[in-house]
Amino acid sequence: MNSTHDTQVLVTGGTGFIAQHCILLLLKNGYRVRTTVRSLAREPEVRQHLREGGAEPGDRLGFVVADLGSDAGWAEAAAGCAYVMHGASPTPSGAQTSEEDWVRPAVDGNLRVLRAAREAGVKRVVLTSAFGAICAGHGPMKRPFNDDDWSDLTNPNVWPYQKSKTLSEQAAWDFIAREGGGMELSAVNPVAVLGPVLGADYSHSIRLIKNMLAGQPGMPKINSGFVDVRDVADLHLRAMTHEAAAGERFLAIAGESMWMAEVARVLKARMGGIADKVSTRVLPNTIVRLGALKDPALRGAVPLLGLNLNATSAKAIRLLGWAPRSAEEAIVATAESLDRLGLLA
């Protein structure tokens, strides 16, 4: 009898927040999982994070060393896998990093994984893309963003990260159309991902909540959608297995987008004493613009001031039966996990 216990899934970038929750859900559903890391020295850390998430996979989880910047390891990683969840993405560091340092590795990395998957006879790849491939460069919208939207790269205010996500996802779809050899592709495009942290290595979105709890002196007038990482993992699994998901991209957001001050108010209302330092003050736009002149971290926020980034997950809900938790639940789960793991000090 065919069973998920016989089915191997490759999850790229096993040290990542979303990847680890995908691994947890795959293991829970009986799949065997292989994941890539850039160094086997990270294996104990990944296993500890999975243990925090309630899993002791033993030999049902394997590790392969592979880097998106090199062909080495990818054939071994994909061998024998029926599916691939590809979320690994190179992240350049340093204040002088050029746009090309973001874009080229992201595009080449996607193509490297897709080629390895095709050669291994993989049935379907689920690509973790981003809302940044949908929303950037548009200015005010009269309707929510949806899965058919693409970022407008002609706008000079598009960040290198958003450009890299847009071009790398487009390169993946082009590859499937021209060279896929019958392999299927689905893409998941989440907004800011919150939810239970498994360890000290977490995403930028989680840092938003940590900064609020640490006493950030006010909130810029910035709007964002939010989604729980457990629901992002669930959408990946549905995109992997549902017949109707082939050739589709799925925007992942829980309900309506929120202003940062609204997020702060949720923390104040739900988190008791650990939210004592949270400020619900909205910083005037002029203050943020002045601060951005000296602080590079604020410069990217300026084009977003006052911009409503509401979006819809209607397609994922309709087509795949996806039913995400509320954004409030995701916010609370984030704060609770940061507190439980002692990461708020």
CA 191/CA 181 separation, integer angstroms: 31
pTM comes to 0.95
Neighbours of 326 (CB within 10 A): 15
Residues spanned by the domain of 173: 4-202+227-255+310-324
Mean of per-residue pLDDT scores for the chain: 93
Segment 56-95, tens digit of pLDDT = 999 999 999 999 999 999 999 999 999 999 998 877 655 5
In a domain, 9, yes or no: yes
In a domain, 343, yes or no: no
In a domain, 246, yes or no: yes
Q: Are 134 and 93 in contact (CB under 8 A)?
A: no
Tally of structural domains, the chain = 1
- 323: nearest Cα among 242, 238, 243: 238
Q: Which residues contact 237 (CB under 8 A, 6 or more apart)?
A: 22, 25, 26, 29
Which pLDDT value is given to residue 96?
A: 46
Q: CA 98, 129, 13, 71 torsion: positive or negative?
A: negative
Q: CA 198, 202, 208, 214 torsion: positive or negative?
A: positive
Neighbours of 68 (CB within 10 A): 21
Out of 28, 142, 163, 165, pick the active-site residue.
165
Least confident of 147-156, 175-184, 186-195, 299-308: 299-308
- At 42, is the pLDDT very low, low, confident or very high (cuts 50, 70, 90)? very high
Instruction: Give, as one character, the DSSP assignment of residue 211.
Output: H
CA 156/CA 143 separation, integer angstroms: 23
Which pLDDT value is given to residue 2?
A: 45
Q: Stretch 304-310: mean pLDDT, rounded?
A: 92
- 251: nearest Cα among 191, 295, 205, 169: 191
CATH number, domain containing residue 152: 3.40.50.720
Buried b or exposed e, range 193-205, using 16+ CB within 10 angstroms: bbbbbbbeebbeb
Q: Are 338 and 278 in contact (CB under 8 A)?
A: no
In a domain, 273, yes or no: no
In a domain, 70, yes or no: yes
CA 198/CA 51 separation, integer angstroms: 9
Neighbours of 28 (CB within 10 A): 13
Which pLDDT value is given to residue 93?
A: 57
Segment 252-284, tens digit of pLDDT = 999 999 999 999 999 999 999 999 999 999 999
CA 194/CA 335 separation, integer angstroms: 9
In a domain, 32, yes or no: yes
CA 202/CA 210 separation, integer angstroms: 11
Neighbours of 163 (CB within 10 A): 21
Which pLDDT value is given to residue 23?
A: 98
CA 312/CA 291 separation, integer angstroms: 32
Least confident of 163-167, 205-209, 292-296, 340-344: 292-296
Strand extents, DSSP E, 66-183: 83-86, 124-128
In a domain, 164, yes or no: yes
In the numeric block, which tokens belong to residue 129?
A: 């893309």
- At 291, is the pLDDT very low, low, confident or very high (cuts 50, 70, 90)? confident
Told to judge if 165 belongs to the known catalytic residues of this protein, a careful annotator would answer yes
Dmax over CA atoms of the chain, in Å, equals 65
In the numeric block, which tokens belong to residue 326?
A: 């509320």
In a domain, 178, yes or no: yes
In the numeric block, which tokens belong to residue 198?
A: 């498994």
Segment 92-148, tens digit of pLDDT = 655 546 777 788 889 999 999 999 999 999 999 999 999 999 999 998 899 999 999
